[in-house]
Each structure stands twice: as structure tokens, then as C-alpha cells.
A and B are shown apart, each in its own frame.
Chain A
Amino acid sequence: MASDPSSPGQSTPQTPTEKPSTPPVNILSSPVSRVYSIIHPALLLALGAAHFETLVANPTKGLLNSLPWLTLSQILYVVICLPPAGSTETTAPADGKSSSRSPGPASRHGKHGKRKQHVNSWTCIWSRLLPAFLALALTFALATPALAALLVLFGAPLTTHNIETILGAAHLAVLSATALIYTHGLDRSVWNEVWGIARPADAVWGSALGTGLGAWFGAIPIPLDWDRPWQAFPITILTGAYIGYAVGSFVARTPFVFGKRIIFAAEDVDDAEKKSN
């Protein structure tokens, strides 16, 4: 990903500037959450692989069939692994900061310390399921049309393949937006950062960015003259998006990247230059 021209800033990351903005999101500290957060991207890849054949044979059917499974596993993921918007925000930052410096002790704490019992409590589950379903609703209502428009702007056909585009956008939206909405709600400052590609790196933002980049790179094999059925429009893009999701989610969690932002740092130099001339 660091070699990607569209986000060159990733190779020149900076330490997070201390702005009063929402800090990076941490995976919940319980062992179940930690383990599942590792399994989940692999699970999604497996899901994608399982549906690949149907997808190639009949893109619309493949997209439609895999969408419920994708949605289900994303809900499972956000409910198990992520703090919902608002409720845990007060505890998450402190936790997050300590683990951003050294995630090791936190996980050890989770393993050897007293196990938290609230995971099984129904109220707790409900307090997470409700935001998860809200996030899902917003994903389909807002993020899907927005991503469909983006797909078209990036070259998806407008006059044909409309169903594929919409369904593809739905997949991209569930991959990228559900977790973002679940963890941040409709916090304006966070969404400004999202639109500006200026969020600090964490599992949620990393996978969202990875999804987008993967989709962009997924367009590469389409013009090749191999005449394979999988070169048809939404297939490679979604494959790229799934792989990008997994890669982004892992890379953003590594200690070296976690919490850092993509900075387009050239501004000040240029301003100075312009004035000097």
C-alpha cells in the first residue's frame, strides 16, 4: 500500500498532531474481540472466495447472494470488536492511547487479568446491536448511493451495468462505511476527517481506506486481452476491495502505523516560496 501513488503520504507519515479530534479507535480489549478482529478479515476473504465462482458466472446473482453474508459478518464484527459511537467513547481513548504506544501489555492484561464478564450480558449486546443496525441502515441509505456515484466518477459504466454498480457500491459501503458509522456515529469532525482522508490510522479507518484503494487498483486487469470472464466490470474491483480491506485493517493496526495520519505536507513550503517571488 505504501507504494500507492494516490496516497503517497503514507510513506511520509507523521506523528499525530495533537488536535482536538477524535482519537483512533481501538479494538475492544476482551480476548474474544481481539481474536475475532484477527479472524474477521480472513473470514471476509474466505466469504469472497466462496462466492467468487457465482460472481464470475453471474455478477448480479453473486453480488446479491454474498451481500447478506457480508452484512451479517460485518455486524458480528462491529458488535464483537468495536466500541459503538458515544457509549464507550469515554473509556476508549485512554485505553487506545496506552495501547497505541505499546499494544503488548494491554493484550497481556486481557489474557491474564480478571476476565470481564459483561460480554455475555444481554443489555450490553443490545446496546451494541442497536447502533449496529442503525449503522447498517445509514450504510444502505447514504453510503451506498454516494459510493455508487464515486464508482461512476472513477469510470464505472453509467448507461449499462447499473445493477452491478449499485450492488458493488453496497458491498464497498458495507465493507468501509458500516464500521465507521458504528464507531463514530454522525460526528461532524470525524466525517470531515474522513472526507479529507485525514483520519488517524486504526483498524476501522485502515480497512475503509484499504477498501477504496483496493477497488482503485482492482481496475488494473480489466483492459488486458485475456478474455477471461472474471475481467468483467465489478468483479476485479470488488476483489481488490476485499483484499484491500484485509490488508488495510492489518496494516493500520501495526504499531508503526497506528494513530498516524496521511499528511500532504507541501503547503507551507509553497506558500513561503510564492511570497518570496
Chain B
Amino acid sequence: MGFYATVIANLLIPVGILVFSSGFFPYKPLIPGLATLETDDAAPAIFDKVIFMVVDALRSDFVYSNESGFQFTQSLIRSGAALPFTAYAGSPTVTMPRLKAITTGSVPSFLDVILNIAESDTSSTLAYQDTWLAQLKATGGRLVMYGDDTWLKLFPGMFDRADGTTSFFVSDFTEVDQNVTRHVSDELAQDDWSAFIMHYLGLDHIGHKAGPKSPFMVPKQHEMDDVVNEIYTALQREQHLQSTLFVLCGDHGMNEAGNHGGSSAGETSPALLFMSPKFETLGGRESPVEPSGDMAYYKTVEQADIAPTLAGLLGVPIPLNSLGVFIPDFLGMWNQSMYWSLKGHSGLGLTLAIGSHQIRIQYQNAKQLLNTLTTTFPGSSFDPASIAPCESGAASGIEGAQCAWARVQHILADGPKTYPHPAAGPALAQFSKTAQDVMSRTASNYDVSRLGLGLLITALAALFVLPTTVRECTRRGPPGLFLTMMVIAYGVMMFASSYVEEEQQFWYWICSGWVFYLYIKSQSARPGRTRSDIVSWSGPCSILLLAICQRLLRRWNQTGQKFAAEPDIAHTFFGRHPEIFWALLALTYLDAGHGLVRNMRLPGPYKLGALVPAVLAFTFKVHFVASESPELLDGTFISHIVKEWPYTMSLVLHARLVFYALAIVTLPALLGSKFCSSVQGRLSLLKYHLLPWSAWLITDTAPHESIHAALHVFLMTQSRATNIPLFLLFRVTARILSSMDLTGIEVTITTMIFQYMTFFAFGGSNAISSVDLASAYNGVGSYNVGLVGVLTFVSNWAGPIWWASQSHRLRPRGVHNAAALLTFHVAMSTVSVMAACTALRTHLFIWTVFSPKYLYSMAWAIPNHVAVNLLAEVVFSQGQAS
């Protein structure tokens, strides 16, 4: 009964998550088709070509600050030829949604984050959406593109010439960019294109690998500046580039760790520059400058504003779904001398005589925004007859937009016939701004019934395992009570945005309490202790050691938001004392090698063969560190060895050798065990049918030991180098725990707490930006979604996976339904996250805090719970019981 309930519950959890996600991440309604110009409306184009250069993760200070390597670009800012901005990039700050914002001018939905990772998805293409690229194409221009192949996926068939580079090989700093730069001079010589797009990835890769302060950063900026120089010189020199607009921008920024995806100031503040010799008439600006706010240099605009500004400057219609506002600084490019009359809003029958191209540009922008607004809010009327014009702009939301539009109508109708009303420009600007605010806030609408249904299904899953959980919890008072309190406290916590951001604090806090419980338990278990075992593995000193290990874990990586910049062991301490780091690393590998040798079922002398994967893994890590983060090597004994070492192997091959060696070493242990001699019990049928290969894993406990030893080395290979000594702490912790005579439920709670705690100790958090991609390509030669996905998961969940495996080594033999407890916990935490997302769906932080948390809880529920915890249960539990 309990078994089937657990199975049903685990089938229900993914279903519930799918249903909830379909309601939470809906596709937005979009206006199909291309915008067209009303023939006599158009203000004359200032430019006829555009060179659009995206430098991935080009944070504002990389260009504008004193430490910048963009000296030439800064000289252009001083001469006025470059207009600098900070372009606010809303969360999610990952490439694909940001490119959508830049090209369509719309605010991308959170779904794009998932699609950004699952890049093979074609439903996210922009082929059928209105973009400034499509508009240029519609005018008969040719488009060329070099760089990040996300563009090619977003715009299939759009480009006449293109050469894509893959954005996921984050270890490559130079080649990705050389592949773009080598095309530049050829394309500048051509005159057939009307848009030339470049997307450089190297700077982002450096950020991911080594952060914004990396020694590679400034040279990379110099390299980018040289490209700007080459292009700008061509603009001045070449006849066919006379009226070409050159845009340099970042798609997003990066935080102090060099990652992005979240909503910190660094991540949301990329640089944006419009360059042309024609701008020199607008006057120069000081450069370099100090930021006026956090990462805010010069004027801050929305990233969505790029689309209407480009459209206006290039004389093409603004993309239909754009929420951008034409950047007013460029209005000066049109002089005031030309008058025109406008056959007003067709429905209004007004004849407006407003002047100047400036007003015309703004009016076009406002009309386009009004169109989007009425599509999103079909219920509200913008007929001036129905709204009383209101003086103050205090009203917010849709009423504010209605009010602002009424004012625009009022001014345009009453103004003098020959010259624009002086208030027309500001009124139009105010309407556009209000409309943008309204639309950005309601960028997605939820299917509440599906949210409810998903919630219900997941709650039902929790209900299915509730009886077993209650039985397990009541059988043993204190731990059961502790678990209950933990589940309740966690559920409540999910509703507070700061606790979601600082979730690690909860687990560290719970862990300190649990270690204290274990201490009391060990004290009360042995009242008559003799002095001799005070220093043994089970004595109070060992608990002290456990507490110290726990304390070291929580300080290893500072994570979350509030304390993220405080000093920690992995960055600050190891940065200052690389010798200690290398000593610990070597010690960890020694210990791992020892574990391999001891647990391999090989005849005597061959046992030493088990050292091969450990040696390979260690040299791989050294190799990896030497090529990815050489600052860790500075001034250590390892750096001398590395210098002398003749490298002949590529990292990919080296990683593969490690994986193969681990597989080879584990295989004889598995095959040599008694072949499914004692497969019995209630799980055997299931295993026989679903997982026939698991039969030879489970016959003895010894194979588990060797699998664990191999897994240990594999997880170390998939972790950041600075996190590897944590595995030594794990071993010590596990050694102490195994001597403590824990009951089944205590082992389950302990490993559950350690799973969550170590996830955060490795530097994980509930922000998208903390996903570690550095080890995702170990041994992967060409991009493969499945393989890279698995490696990414393993490198981010290394701690949880280790403890899932360890839990089976700690667990005493006995009837204990760990699967039910784990299922209950994961179902309850998913339910509380879903409930928080449903209840707070209009909250300001829904896209920056709660949605990322929901994505993480999906990862906890499906890969970690179903694929790791339950698989381990199925594979190993029988071996324990027999």
C-alpha cells in the first residue's frame, strides 16, 4: 500500500509541475504581421544602413569607467560622435530574451529563459514577429550576421550571409571572437547590406570563467575597442558607408561573480552607444565618468527603446509589438524647419496640423504604443469622448495611459494650425512612457485555473505519501517532529522574497540545530562514558568536528544576495593562500584515490590500477585550472610543474579519459559480484521490467562502495576546483555520522539537510545567474543538449548527488520508508513554492525571485528527487535489505 502510494505520488509530481508551468509561463498574445508606414507620415530617414555590434555581457562600466579598455570609444564620446547610454535590461538577463527585447522592442516572457537553455526549441523563433530586421528586410535590404548563433536560431532564413558561433563553449575566450572579426573588413568593403550584425561572445565567457576582474578582461576590451576603431574609421572613409549608423551594445551585464540571469544592478546595466560622425553636431560628453548610481552611467534608457529608435533613425516603421520609446536625444537630428499636416487618428476624424519631424516621430511612436495597448487591454477605450482629460499625471496603470492619451488629443486638436504646440512633445513623451510602464508590468498573464490544478495535483501527491510519513514520524518522536517543523517552516519561508533569496541561511540554521540534536542524542545514548572514547569517532570531540565541518561548509562560498560580496573561503581565502588550496586539493585527490583502491574488487596488485582514474582526474583538474583560471596557480609550486609539463592533450580528450577510466575501474567490480542471486522483495518486479541492468548493481553492498568511490571522483571532476576540498569535508562528516548509530529516519533527515545545505555551500542559490556552466562541457566535443544538460545538472547538484549516494551507506538495515519521506518533503516544498508563485503572481519580485525559485524547485523535484534520490533508492535499497 505504502509502496504504491509512493509510486503514484512520484508520478503525480511531474504531472503537477507540467500543468502548473503551462499556466505560469504562457505564450503572450502578439500582433501578427509587419507594421507599415502611412505613406505621407514618414519623417525622412537619417541613416540607410546599420552596423549592430553586440558584445555579450558588456556591462556599462566596461566602456564608460576609468578602468575601461575602450579608449577609442571614449574619445568618440568626447567628440560627440558616440551617444552613450546605460540600457536597462530587465530580468531574465540571459542572451536570448535580451535579443528579443532588442529586436522586437517587447518585454520577453520568462519562458524564454528555459528556451534559452533548451536552445534547440524552434517555437521561440522570431521569424513571424515584427522586428527592425524584418522591417529592413521588407524594404529590400540585405542582412548579414556574424557571431552568436542565437541570432540564426531567432531569425531563420533572415540573413543573406552568416557565420554562427556557439555560445555554450564558455571555455573559449579567443576563437569565438576571431571568427567574427575575420569577417569585418570584408563586409565593410561590401555595399550590398543594409544591416550588418555582429555578436561577440568572448567577454561573456571571460566573465563566466573568471569574473569581471579577470586579468583577461581589459585585453578583451582593447580587442573590442580595436574593432570599434576599424568600423568607425571605415564609416569616415568609405563612400558607401556615408550614412551608416553604428550601434555598440551589450545584451546584458554581469554581477561581481561574472554571472548573469538575475536582476542585480550589474546584470541589468549593459552599455549602449550610437555612433556616427553625424552625431558630432549634437555635442560631446565627458568621458570617462563616474556612475551616477549603481552601474548607471550617462542617461538610462530601456533596452526596448533600441527598436523604435533604430526604426526612427532608419526610417522604417516601429515593430508592432514594441514597448519602446524613441530616445529623445536623437530628436535633434531632425531640424525644425519642415512643416507637415497630419490626417489624424483615422477613427477620430480630426485634422491635426502639427509640425516638425520631431513631433511626427514621437506621434508615430505613441500611435504604435496605443495599438499595442488596445490589443492587450481590449476592454479599455481610448476614445477622447469617453475620457475626461485630466490635468495631473498622477493616475497610474491603464487609467494613467488613458488620461495621458486624452491630453495628447486635447493638445493636438487645440494647438495652432501652423506650428506645433509647445506642449505636444512632452505630452506625447508622457503618454509613451506611461504606456511602456503599463505594458511592461502586465507583460504576461497567467492561466489561474491551470495554476490551481497544478497545485492541486502536487498537493494530492503529498497527500498520497502522508499516511506513510505520519507513521514514520510518529514512530520516533523527536526527529519526526523536527522534520514536520522543517517542512512547515520551509513552506512559510517560500512566501518571503528575502528568504527565497537567502535560502541557504535557512538550511545552515536548520543544520546547526540538527547537529545540536545529534549531539544531545549521542550524549543521552551513552550515559556511562569512559574517558577513553571521548576522542574516538563517536565521542563528543567527533561531534565538535562535525560542527566545525558544518561551519566550514557554510562559509565556503558566500551566496544569495545580501551577503554575496562578503569574504569567503573559496574566493577570498584561497585567493590569498593558493598553497593551502593546492595542498587541500591534493589531499582530497589522495583520499579519493585511497577510496578507489580500497573499494575496488580487484585482485591484489591490480588494485593499484584503481589509482589511474584518480591520477587522471587530478591532472585533469590541474590542466583545467591552468587553462581556465590561471590566477589560482600564481606563485605556487604547481605553476612550476605546469610550466615544465609538455601539454599534448586537449581538455576534451583529457576529461573523456577520466570518465572512461572511471567506467573501466567500476565495471569489474559490478560484473564480478554474484549475479542477481538474491533479487527479491517488492521492488524486484519493477526493477526486472524497468531497469534490467540494475539487477547486477544490487546484489551486494560492495558494488555500492565501489560505485560510490567512483562517483566521488566523478563529482569532483564536475565541480569547480575551489569546491573540491569540500569533498574531503564530506568524507570526514560521513565518517562521523556513520559512527553515530543513527536510525533510519535520522539518516534520511541528515542527508536531506546536507543535500540542500551542500547545494548552497557549492555556491548555488535561487538566482538563475548562479548556474555554473564551467564544467558543463567536460569531455563534450560538439554541442549536445542532453549531454550538456546532464553535466550541467551534475556540476551544480554535485553535493546533493554525493549525499544521496552516501545516505545508503549510512542507513541501518531495517524497515524505513525513506522514499516516502523524501517524496513528502519534495511534494510539500513544491506545493509551497507553487502556492507562493500563485498568491504573489502580481508581486514586484515575481520574475526576479519567485519564478527562478520555481525553476529551481522543478530541478529539485525532477532531476534531483526522481532521477537521483529515487533511482538510488531503487538501485541500492534492495542490496541493503537482502
User: Hey, which bits of chain A sit against chain B, CB under 8 A?
Assistant: 3-6, 8-9, 11-12, 152-155, 158-159, 195-198, 216, 219-220, 222-226, 262-267, 269-270, 273-274, 277
Contacts and interface: CB of A to CB of B under 8 A. Distances in A.
Contact of B509 (A3, A197, A219, A262): A219
B544 to A, nearest CB: 8
B523 A8 contact: no
Interface in B486-520: 486, 489, 496-499, 501-502, 505, 508-510, 512-514, 516-517, 520
Interface in B516-555: 516-517, 520-521, 523-525, 527, 540, 544, 547-548, 550-551, 554-555
A274 B814 contact: yes
Contacts of B567: 159
Interface stretch (B275-283, B379-387, B471-479, B718-726): B471-479
B212 interface: no
B497 A5 contact: no
Nearest to A262: B520
Contacts of A219: 509
A226 B496 CA distance: 11
Given A153-B548, A225-B497, A225-B561, A269 B523 contact: no
Nearest to A12: B477
Contacts of B815: 273, 277
Given A5-B486, A266-B479, A277-B815, 11 more contacts: A3-B485, A5-B482, A8-B478, A8-B485, A153-B544, A196-B524, A198-B524, A223-B502, A263-B524, A270-B814, A274-B812
Contact of A225 (B512, B544, B562, B812): B562
B304 to A, nearest CB: 28
Interface in B691-720: none
A5 B485 contact: yes
A224 B496 contact: yes
A274 B476 CA distance: 14
A135 B551 CA distance: 31
Contacts of A274: 812-814
B116 interface: no
B814 A196 contact: no
Interface string B461-485: 0000000000000011111011001
Interface in B111-128: none
A5 B473 CA distance: 13
A-B pairs, top 4 by smallest CB distance, nearest first, are A8-B481, A196-B523, A223-B502, A5-B485
B547 A153 contact: yes
B250 interface: no
Contacts of A269: 475-476
Given A198-B524, A223-B562, A270 B482 contact: no
A266 B562 contact: no
Contacts of B521: 264
B481 A5 contact: yes
A127 B823 CA distance: 61
A4 to B, nearest CB: 8
Contacts of B485: 3-5, 8
A265 B481 CA distance: 13
Given A224-B496, A224-B499, A264-B521, A5 B513 contact: yes
B554 A223 contact: no
Nearest to B512: A154
State the main secondary structure of chain A at its contact with B.
loop
Contact of A224 (B481, B498, B509, B510): B498
A152 B551 contact: yes
A11 B501 contact: no
Interface residues of B, number: 48
A200 B485 CA distance: 25
A5 B477 CA distance: 11
Contacts, number: 104
A226 B814 CA distance: 47
23 contacts: A3-B485, A5-B485, A6-B514, A8-B485, A12-B478, A153-B547, A153-B548, A155-B508, A155-B512, A158-B555, A196-B527, A222-B505, A223-B501, A264-B477, A264-B524, A265-B477, A265-B478, A266-B476, A267-B524, A269-B476, A270-B743, A274-B812, A277-B813
Contacts of A273: 814-815
A264 B520 CA distance: 8
Interface of B: 475-479, 481-482, 485-486, 489, 496-499, 501-502, 505, 508-510, 512-514, 516-517, 520-521, 523-525, 527, 540, 544, 547-548, 550-551, 554-555, 560-562, 567, 743, 812-815
Contacts of A277: 813-815
Contact of A264 (B478, B548, B814): B478
Contacts of A267: 524-525
A223 B560 contact: yes
Nearest to A220: B509
Contacts of A222: 505
B482 A8 contact: yes
A274 B746 CA distance: 14
**Max count, chain B CB within 10 A of own CB: residue among A6, A198, A263:** A6
A269 B812 CA distance: 14
A197 B520 contact: yes
A223 B498 contact: yes
B525 to A, nearest CB: 6
B478 A266 contact: yes
A5 B481 CA distance: 7
A5 B482 CA distance: 5
Nearest to B503: A223
A198 B523 contact: yes
A75 to B, nearest CB: 30
Nearest to A159: B567
Contact of B551 (A155, A159, A223, A225): A155
Nearest to A5: B485
A61 B508 CA distance: 29
B780 to A, nearest CB: 37
A2 B682 CA distance: 40
A224 B509 CA distance: 14
B524 to A, nearest CB: 5
Given A225-B498, A274-B813, A266 B482 contact: no
A195 B526 CA distance: 13
B22 to A, nearest CB: 31
Contacts of B489: 5
A264 B555 CA distance: 31
B477 A6 contact: no
A256 B238 CA distance: 94
A273 B815 CA distance: 8
A216 B743 contact: no
B498 A6 contact: no
A266 B524 CA distance: 11
A159 to B, nearest CB: 7
Contacts of A196: 520, 523-524, 527
Given A224-B496, A265-B477, A6 B523 contact: no
B534 to A, nearest CB: 12
Contacts of B523: 195-198
Contacts of B497: 225
A191 to B, nearest CB: 12
Nearest to A231: B562
Contacts of A5: 481-482, 485-486, 489, 510, 513
Contacts of B501: 223, 225
Contact of A270 (B476, B502, B510, B513): B476
A225 B514 CA distance: 26
A6 B517 contact: yes
Nearest to A263: B524
A219 B508 CA distance: 11
Nearest to A225: B498
Contacts of A153: 512, 544, 547-548, 550-551
B554 A155 contact: yes
Contacts of B505: 222-223
**Max count, chain A CB within 10 A of own CB: residue among B499, B523, B550:** B523
A166 B488 CA distance: 34
Contacts of B551: 152-153, 155
